[in-house]
Amino acid sequence: MLRSCPVLNPLKINPRYKHTGGEQDTAEDSGALFTFFVDSYDVASALFRRGWLDNRVWLKVSDQMPKIWINAFFRLRLTRVLLDRYNQDEHRLDLTLFYKDEALDRDFCALAESHCLSTVLGIVGREMPELEVLILDRNHLTNLWAFSLMEHRFPRLQSISLRQNNIGNVNSLRVFQFLPLTELNLQNNPLPAGYEREVRDIWPSLQVLNEIQVTPDPKIIQLF
């Protein structure tokens, strides 16, 4: 059994989206006995190093995410999940660990996958145009290009949380630069030391950065 592998101990495997056979879009994996995904780099690396379970079962590790097929039915399911996560009174949408939402059952939709993210943002733009607070914590986000032109979709969006993602440079955050942000949380991202100064330059109107009160640029206050 996997848990007896000395290479993996004491790591715990939490396989997701398990199914028999291989991925439908990958011909070379069509003969697989089963397929599963993990959301831990350490576990994936340990499996890769192991390579096999016994003399009969071999492991093949890929760094690709599951392919998603979004049709009208899946869009309807996504809409229901998103509405359930939306606080209409506070105009607040919490998408923390979205890929683990039990309501999606075995259907894969990770915000780190560009097609899924674009679809989700399209639904949010249609259903929640008055959005003011968006929480995107712990979604393995790296590429943020899908958030371009957010100021047109969500002109009232003032608070964004991106805690515990994989954002490595401040420039990727410029997709949000025309939003009237007063609060931004970037804690636990692999950003360079001193990035806070650059963030303040992009959003001089910020009042809260990483849960710490900051003083907005007085020139910006006078403009309003």
**6 pLDDT band (50/70/90 cuts)?**
very low
Domain count, the chain: 2
Are 116 and 42 members of one domain?
no
Please write the tens of the pLDDT for every residue from 116-131. Answer: 999 999 999 999 999 9
Domain of 130: which CATH number?
3.80.10.10
* Residue 19 scores a pLDDT above 70: no
Please write the tens of the pLDDT for every residue from 55-107. Answer: 555 556 555 666 677 889 999 999 999 999 999 999 999 999 998 898 887 67
Taking the CB of residue 116, how many other CB atoms lie within 10 A of it?
22
Are 99 and 168 members of one domain?
yes
Are 128 and 206 members of one domain?
yes
Are 142 and 94 members of one domain?
yes
Query: To 10 degrees, what angle do helices 114-127 and 72-84 make?
Result: 60
Are 96 and 136 members of one domain?
yes
Q: Does some domain include residue 196?
A: yes
Domain that holds residue 27: 2-50
> Is-contact 127 152, C-beta < 8 A?
no
Q: What is the pTM of this model?
A: 0.74
